[in-house]
Amino acid sequence: MLLTNDTVIRKSLQTFLEKELAGHQKHGYRAEIIEELGVRHGTARIDFAIVNGIMSGYEIKSDRDTLKRLPEQVKEFSSVFDELTLVVGKRHLYHAIHLIPEWWGIMVAKIDTNDHIVFQTIRKAERNKAQNILSIARLLWKEEALQILEERNRANGLRNKPRRLIYEKLANTLDTETLKQRVSSQLISRAGWRSGQLLTSCGD
């Protein structure tokens, strides 16, 4: 069996997702693909996210990867994303199925006879019913969260406070759906997006 690696899956998956993104944009929707989107201030990073009003995450586990970090990633990513799909090499398929919730989608990445990566959908992702509003708030940079609070006159005394208190205030100010829409819009609108900015721009 030819073994996949992260690099070849990542390249093919990006092409696959760009086609999906083009479909959203063709119908007039604002949408963006973000690679290595940080969750919990960058302590966990999902390989790809499509943000288009809802947030869909794709995590890669190639044949040459291990599944050691997957249980913790499942916990972190499930607190944030509306939909999640594991893109897994055939070698890990059986084990991986038992490590992810039933609502996660599964795509198997295989190498065909022409040495191309092909994706086979084993299970489509379903909507997440266990998101955590505080984890969603933490996708914002500190200044972005403050701006939303200022718009609602709820930022008094918070500007110089630790970001933890700002996110808690935001989570207590907005309902989950409203916050998700604001976060989605903010992620799409960031000028000069770089995944590494998440760590340097949040501040304490």
pTM of the model: 0.89
Burial class (CB in 10 A: 0-12, 13-18, 19+), 120: exposed
Map tokens 């760009």 to a residue: 18
Question: Which tokens belong to 99?
Answer: 């490590």
Neighbours of 82 (CB within 10 A): 19
Mean pLDDT of 162-183: 95
Mean pLDDT of 15-38: 83
Give 195's contacts (C-beta < 8 A, 6+ positions apart).
34, 35, 36, 37, 38, 45
- Give the class (CATH, top level) of 6-123: alpha beta
Is-contact 49 33, C-beta < 8 A?
A: yes
- Band the pLDDT of 43: cuts 50, 70, 90: confident
Mean pLDDT of 156-173: 94
Indicate if the pLDDT at residue 166 is higher than 50: yes
Q: Can you give the residue ranges of every domain in the chain?
A: 6-123, 133-193
Amino acid, res. 119: F
What's the CA gap between 142 and 147, in Å, rounded?
9
R_g (Cα) of the chain, nearest Å: 18
Q: What is the pLDDT of the chain when averaged over all its residues? A: 89
The 3-state DSSP class for residue 55 equals strand
Amino acid, res. 194: R
* Distance linking the first and last C-alpha atoms of the chain: 48
Nearest CA among 5, 33, 13 for reference residue 21: 33
